[in-house]
A and B are shown apart, each in its own frame.
Chain A
Amino acid sequence: MKKQALISAIAASAMIAVASFAIAQSASDVQTLRGADVDEPIGVEDVFHQDKQRFTRNYRQQPPLIPHTIEQYQIDLKANRCLSCHDWTTAGERNAPTLSMTHYMDRDGNQLDRVAGTRWFCNQCHVPQADAPALVDNTFKSSGN
């Protein structure tokens, strides 16, 4: 008699446990570690070895900074590596910003099809962005702010 009562108690508690587990299952959706349905593609987080976006200009005439490395880019009398993406003839297909049209104007104000000689050496004005401490103190106040 005692043994029967013990067995029925165990069976009852087991049934309650299973039932409550089933209720818990149906009540809340299963949380995936992936955080999305299996048929839903998830993007990879962006990796930026340089600064994430183009900097805002600190003053109106500031040459925009270069948001990527230009190490070993050939810019000399013979060739200009920057123009293989940024020239107006290539910028569309390479999805790169085109040079300002002022860069196709020679010193006499003539519009040219090729970048003007006075604008040939990009890194005379444009420099890559770098997250580095300032070499000297600077009290410059941006006119934009």
Chain B
Amino acid sequence: MTDNNSQEPRPGAIRRLFKWFRTPIGAVSLGFALVVSFVVGVVFWGGFHWAMEMTNTEKFCVSCHEMKDNVYAEYQGTVHQNNSSGVRATCPDCHVPKEWGPKVIRKIQASKELYGHFITGVIDTPEKFEDHRLYLASRVWTAMKETDSRECRNCHKFDYMDFTQQENRAAENHQKALDTGKTCIDCHQGIAHKLPEGYLDAYKKVSDDH
């Protein structure tokens, strides 16, 4: 759009805004501009993180009934929710990566979950959820398999695991897992949520694909 016509007195709103945006500051000092940008930067970066952390709480997760009535209800009483020491793993501890990069990627992927919640309502009844359970579980297993159960290992690290304090059956199998390069999810499926019908075959399929 070449616009050399000087007869037009006022360009469009976007053009005016862009022109204003590009105009150098005349009235304030460089120091003032720097200080203001720094303060604004701190506020925005802090705000961004505050907002991201707000979406990283159990309270936020169960604010949707899909989570509250299905997965959160099942998680009650499991070892990650109720145990002797009172240390608890909440939803994001297992389902959101701790490192910044993977965390942001996961948060962007979560926008599809918002689409499912607000537009398609793909799992908005217990029956629909049950129909999708195997698919949903397989997706989580796939993610765990791809990252070598990264979220489990935020707490459960082989390096600090004393096999001699474990029950023999567990110690033997953990040693075997370590030697053969298995990952947590290979054995520990359905520890916080209910397993769907045919889960073992579905898991084998996930395992074979990787």
Contact in complex: A81, B190 (CB < 8 Å): yes
A 59-90 to B, binary, CB cutoff 8 A, 1 in contact else 0: 00000000010001010111101011000001
Contact in complex: B167, A74 (CB < 8 Å): no
Contact in complex: B195, A81 (CB < 8 Å): yes
B40 contacts the other chain (CB 8 A): no
Q: By the criterion of a CB under 8 Å from any partner CB, how many residues of chain A are at the interface? A: 19
Contact in complex: A79, B167 (CB < 8 Å): no
A49 contacts the other chain (CB 8 A): yes
Which residues of chain A come closer than 8 Å to B53, judged between CB atoms? none
Of the listed stretches B56-64, B102-110, B118-126, B196-204, name the one at the interface; the rest are far from the partner chain.
Answer: B196-204
Q: Is the interface of B mostly helix, strand, loop or mixed?
A: loop
Q: Is the interface of A mostly helix, strand, loop or mixed?
A: loop
Q: How many Å lie between the Cα of A68 and that of B172 in the bound state?
A: 14
Contact in complex: A79, B196 (CB < 8 Å): yes
Contact in complex: B169, A68 (CB < 8 Å): yes
Which residues of chain B come closer than 8 Å to A83, judged between CB atoms? 200
- A48-B168 contact in complex given A72-B79, A79-B199, A83-B200, C-beta closer than 8 Å: yes
A44 contacts the other chain (CB 8 A): yes
> Which of A48, A68, A74 is close to B190, meaning CB atoms less than 8 Å apart?
A74
B 169-188 to A, binary, CB cutoff 8 A, 1 in contact else 0: 10111000000000000010
Closest CB-CB distance, B80 to chain A, in whole Å?
10
A50 contacts the other chain (CB 8 A): yes
Q: How many Å lie between the Cα of A94 and that of B166 in the bound state?
A: 17
Size bin of chain B's contact surface? 20 to 34
B165 contacts the other chain (CB 8 A): yes
Q: Which residue of A lies closest to B187 (CB)?
A: A84
Contact in complex: A78, B168 (CB < 8 Å): no
A47 contacts the other chain (CB 8 A): yes
A46 contacts the other chain (CB 8 A): yes
Which residues of chain A come closer than 8 Å to B79, judged between CB atoms? 72
Q: How many Å lie between the Cα of A31 and that of B33 in the bound state?
A: 78
B164 contacts the other chain (CB 8 A): yes
Q: Which residue of A lies closest to B176 (CB)?
A: A95
Q: How many Å lie between the Cα of A68 and that of B171 in the bound state?
A: 13
Contact in complex: A84, B200 (CB < 8 Å): yes
13 sampled A-B residue pairs with Cβ under 8 A: A46-B168, A47-B164, A47-B167, A47-B171, A48-B167, A68-B169, A78-B195, A78-B199, A79-B190, A79-B194, A81-B195, A83-B200, A84-B200
